[in-house]
Amino acid sequence: MVKIAPSILSADFSNLEAEIEEAEKGGADLLHIDVMDGHFVPNLTIGPVVVESIRDTTSLPFDVHLMVSNPERFIEPFVDAGANILSVHVETSPHLDNIIKTIKDQGVKAGAAINPATPTGYVEELLSELDLVLLMSVNPGFGGQPFIRRVLKKVEKTRQMVEEQGYHLEIEVDGGITPETAPLAAKAGATILVAGSSVFQGHKSIRSNIQALKQSLV
């Protein structure tokens, strides 16, 4: 079953608790939390204090996506705040294996994220250490961008690498996920789909928007 991970980057922060509650009731499988530092990507979002403040509002796992320079500085604060999964970008460090180990040593799941122009080979040597590969289908930094279709080939290639090496890990696709693009990503091999604008800013309720995504995958 393909999981839906609503991204709170697109939520109404003045009503965040209620929107998270509606997403959970609507069938969200986990909650995606985009952390941006204004350096690795041209935007600033949230820190551990916000994550900690919403931890008790939901039982959903927190899928924290670190779009930051020097991600090793942020691991312990976000784990302490309640993260269940931490994904870091391969573009941020030449020693990503050490960072992945640090995450795993904290007792949470570890993911490696790659931007649209980054080859999938950058994660191949890490597959044995990972729980998740996160493939960006937009250039990170802002929500509401259109889906980059050439990333579908990368999803297929990643799925092939994982299966050929006999690993069992999640393949997550993040960016431009709608009822139109969700089936394409799932067919290519994705097991988690991150959806922000199409969940929190769609024409219908949050619950209905999530159900529309799930229905598109049937």
**Active-site residue identified among 29, 37, 131, 174:** 174
| Integer Cα distance of 102 and 98 in angstroms | 6
Phi first, then psi, for residue 94 (nearest 5°) are -80, -5
For the chain, the C-alpha Rg in angstroms (whole number) is 16
DSSP, residue by residue, 127-146: GGG-SEEEEESS-TT-SSPP
12 tagged catalytic: no
105 tagged catalytic: no
Extract the tokens encoding 53.
């403040």
The sign of the torsion formed by the CA atoms of 207, 210, 215, 218 equals negative
Residue with tokens 């999803």: 155
**Active-site residue identified among 34, 37, 63, 131:** 34
Q: How far is CA 65 from the centre of its chain?
A: 6
| Integer Cα distance of 73 and 186 in angstroms | 33
DSSP state of 27: T
What are residue 87's DSSP bridge partners? Answer: 65, 111
Active site residues: 34, 174
